[in-house]
Amino acid sequence: MLVLLPRAISGISLPEGFRSVVFDAQRQELDETVREAEFYIPAYMGDSRIFEVIAEMPKLRYVQLLTAGIDKTVGYIPDGVTLMNARGVHDSSTAELALALTLASMRNLTGYIRAGSQAWSARSGRPSLYAKQVAIVGAGSIGHEIARIFSALGARCTLVSRTGRDGTLRLADAGGLLATSDVVVLVVPLTEATRHLADAAFLANLKDGALLVNVARGEVADTAALLAEVASGRIQAALDVTDPEPLPPDHPLWAEPNCLISPHVGGATDAFIPKARELVEKNLARIARGERPLNVIEGEY
């Protein structure tokens, strides 16, 4: 089996009878070798070209993503091709960033940075995460890891999901929780059902002083509605993702003191490469043994 993989995870261990070619869909011309591919790993955070080339791979059987979200693949995966995501690869890194964004906002770290040498005169009592109510909207593996590390600091965490299964609160029933939560973390996948989930009505339901943390996708929040709420000073926001993305340099969100923005770096840590390699190696070994791969995407997304 021919495996196309990005340079970042080259050198992985392959089962007997498998061979690999390092392939950058954004730079490399297609050749007959590429057209023989049966297992394809698109580059992490590449542009649309990494999926457009799938149409030139007639023998393709498997696509292994290095992202947890699959929204960018819609319309590109042919019938009969098995799609796997990177569930588990980004859990710790994204949860760490969610915590960092939360603490930086609550403890006014960006304000102290802006104050520079005048920071001592800007000192004030700030909220702690201890005993705060945190609603985590999205109950996948990343959401569970966020709940685990926030709980370790004394926060009272509730996981919210579309279905309400496995002890989570159903999103349709979560209005009361969201209205009383100190922190609301968005970590849902982007689908048509979650696009602009955090719209004007959703944001208006948040209590005064609440912090909205988005480590999902930018389109999960309505940017215009979010800007209006943040600009009013009623709520705070900490965003690793924006809509549009990258956020233009002149966008008014940059100037809002109640808004902290990081440039979509939730999974961009040194944990990514070893975890990605481990997942790919496991799935190739499972396929070689005739077993079902891990993280297969099925049904409604």
Residue 121 structure tokens: 């005169």
8 Å CB contact between 169 and 177:
yes
Q: What are phi and psi of 193, to 5 degrees?
A: -75, -25
Of residues 144, 162, 264, 277, which has the active-site annotation?
264
Question: Cα(29)–Cα(123) distance, rounded to whole angstroms?
Answer: 57
Q: Which residue from 89, 273, 74 is spatially nearest to 191, judged by alpha carbons? A: 74
Q: Which residue from 238, 228, 229 is spatially nearest to 262, judged by alpha carbons? A: 238
Of residues 19, 114, 126, 245, which has the active-site annotation?
245
8 Å CB contact between 23 and 6:
yes
Residues for the chain: how many in total?
301
Q: What angle do CA 69, 270, 84 make, to 5 degrees?
A: 30
Of residues 217, 219, 229, 277, which has the active-site annotation?
217
DSSP 122: G
Strand ranges (E), the chain: 2-5, 19-22, 39-40, 62-64, 82-84, 133-137, 156-161, 169-170, 183-186, 211-214, 236-239, 259-261
Annotated catalytic residue 27: no
Annotated catalytic residue 264: yes
Annotated catalytic residue 245: yes
Residues belonging to the active site: 217, 245, 264
